[in-house]
Structure 1
């Protein structure tokens, strides 16, 4: 497998509605799309999930473009590759920049699968024909607005609800949700908005039967997460803390969490995501696939990853229409009664809609 041409595009798409977290609110999503063409004429697609501001990690759309243009693409183009796992070694001299690396690696995985004539699911070792999905709900203007959304998504069959919390929008919110939806599978995502000084708050949340509390403390607080987990019964799930296999190993060894959220872009690609999955499976730590407000290409990669056996909790891979008026793939990702059917066509299983891609493209550069 030899990549002879790579197209890098900067896109901007408007979301159906603003998405608010403890970090801030987003209405327009900017991202990079990478198209890799082999000498055999096959094409693989990857998507960078970095945001235009560095509030989730230090990476941004602009830094990803710089890293891809100046370092990552030159390291890979026109090289003979036998397997996508080689990308990790080729890029090992580049520190961090996981989302930039993942965009290219995802395209190589898609390309590899198409060259082999198999689905990305099969290439990764997945074996599910459909996956369970939940929905992530941002911070709303009022609790009533939030309750209406939960009612709507429950009626659509989503398998769990994830709600964002932050100081001042937490205990009362969870209490009202449980009052109105006593049986709904529910988790709270704090996006690192709290410290150990808030331990009493988390103890209070124990009584509401949450599936988990996601990333309550700062990303580098493995020890403090371990201290908090000892004091509460609700499982802690780590998200922003896990950037690599080594991070996952440390978290498990310190007992800093009981669940891990795997995001392909955050950990540097599918190869590392699969390694973390296997580590967690060996240690009986369940995992689920987190979302980064992806467009269709990134969403397709998430679907394939979720077919691995230890993804036993519903992820954030909601349908395309949950986020976009029009997605950049066809068919679009559709949720039926809380499930997504996994495509079995070669590669990611969805076709990029080039007309829509052109409509949202701000800038493009071709490398050969």
Structure 2
């Protein structure tokens, strides 16, 4: 792969509605759009999904930018390479910074697929034509959560994820289950609980949740294993799974029944595909998580979710859920709870240059 230039865009857009968790309320989303251009003029696209502050992981937009500029781009250029997996493996020598790694590696995968004139989903072995879609509700009041869920169900979403925390859990889940007795519901705790809260988490068993996502510490596997023995509801791990080594450890410990695979969290496709294969081999369910992304990352999520094992609806909502206008020319659309896979080369979307320019707050080009 002969690279001519890499362009980093720092962008910022207000959300249509604030996104509320016990950790943070997000009203404005910053991110990094990566363009990798080859010597023939083809461009691959990636997206850095770190937030402005380190509330989800330790990475931020600023730290990701630094790592991309000063570490990963020089490392990519150190030696020639033939395939994006070569870079995914090369980046393993850099500790942490998964979201920065993913941003560049995703762009290289997109470029590689475009060079083959093939959709990216085909290059990674995907087969699904329809992608099952879920969405997240988060608000400061139970009434608003119910209103959000009603709207999403009317839009055809097949799974609703609700944010919970101690003292804001059983009542919320009970009300949503009462309003939507047959809907697939999962509760996302974002590590709000400890083992001392076991009784509160066990109280959720009666509501038929599909899973409880990341109830305990962000880097924990052992206590999740202890908790899973006490719950009938499957535990889904999110923040705890960053590498394939983490996944193997979770399997040995029986820490979960489900894993949420996010390209940004695990460092890109090379790592995500390893984790996916381990889950398939060990009968652990998987689904594709979201990070309040712009259209580039959303299109990458669609490609990932074409893999056979992604049978649980993922956080793949329409672009219009979060943005008045996305940065891609053909916004992602969910109808009746599904999104169509994108069959054009690469991730199947192009940048809306006018919109990108409007929301860009910083830009730098690195000629190779």
Output the CA distance in 1 between the equivalents of 2:73 and 2:79: 11
Q: State the Cα distance separating 1:153 from its structure 2 match.
A: 0.9
Give 2:43's aligned residue.
43
Q: State the Cα distance separating 1:178 from its structure 2 match.
A: 1.3
Give 2:221's aligned residue.
222
Give 1:124's aligned residue.
124
Output the CA distance in 2 between the equivalents of 1:266 and 1:279: 17
Output the CA distance in 1 between the equivalents of 2:259 and 2:251: 9
Give 2:297's aligned residue.
298
Contact 1:5 1:77 in 2 (8 A): no
Q: State the Cα distance separating 1:323 from its structure 2 match.
A: 0.7
User: How far does the alpha carbon of each residue in 1:127-175 deviate from its partner, in whole angstroms, 9 at most, with x for none?
Assistant: 111100001111x232111111111111111010000001221011111
User: How far does the alpha carbon of each residue in 1:3-46 deviate from its partner, in whole angstroms, 9 at most, with x for none?
Assistant: 11000111001111000112110000010111000012110010
Give 1:289's aligned residue.
288
Contact 2:89 2:270 in 1 (8 A): no
Give 1:367's aligned residue.
366
Give the secondary structure class of the aligned counterpart of 1:307. coil
Contact 1:114 1:347 in 2 (8 A): yes
Give 2:85's aligned residue.
85
Give 1:250's aligned residue.
249
Give 2:326's aligned residue.
327
Q: Does 1:191 align with 2:190?
A: yes
**Residues 105-144 of structure 1: matches in 2 within 5 Å?**
105-138=105-138, 140-144=139-143
| Structure 1 residue runs without a partner (length 5+) | none
* Higher mean C-alpha displacement, 83-92 vs 207-216: 83-92
Q: Does 1:163 align with 2:162?
A: yes
Q: Does 1:346 align with 2:349?
A: no
Output the CA distance in 2 between the equivalents of 1:152 and 1:239: 26
Give 1:5's aligned residue.
5
Q: State the Cα distance separating 1:220 from its structure 2 match.
A: 2.1
Give 1:264's aligned residue.
263
Give 2:147's aligned residue.
148
Give 1:274's aligned residue.
273
| Structure 2 residue runs without a partner (length 5+) | none
Give 1:52's aligned residue.
52
Give 1:73's aligned residue.
73
Contact 1:2 1:79 in 2 (8 A): no
Output the CA distance in 2 between the equivalents of 1:305 and 1:77: 26
Q: State the Cα distance separating 1:182 from its structure 2 match.
A: 1.1
Give the secondary structure class of the aligned counterpart of 1:344. coil
Output the CA distance in 1 between the equivalents of 2:176 and 2:91: 45
Equivalent pairs, count? 367
Give the secondary structure class of the aligned counterpart of 1:91. helix
Output the CA distance in 1 between the equivalents of 2:89 and 2:259: 25
Output the CA distance in 2 between the equivalents of 1:75 and 1:230: 44
Output the CA distance in 2 between the equivalents of 1:146 and 1:191: 17
Output the CA distance in 1 between the equivalents of 2:180 and 2:67: 46
Q: Does 1:178 align with 2:181?
A: no
Output the CA distance in 2 between the equivalents of 1:12 and 1:134: 25
Output the CA distance in 2 between the equivalents of 1:93 and 1:317: 31
Give the secondary structure class of the aligned counterpart of 1:352. coil
Contact 2:20 2:140 in 1 (8 A): no
Q: State the Cα distance separating 1:313 from its structure 2 match.
A: 0.5
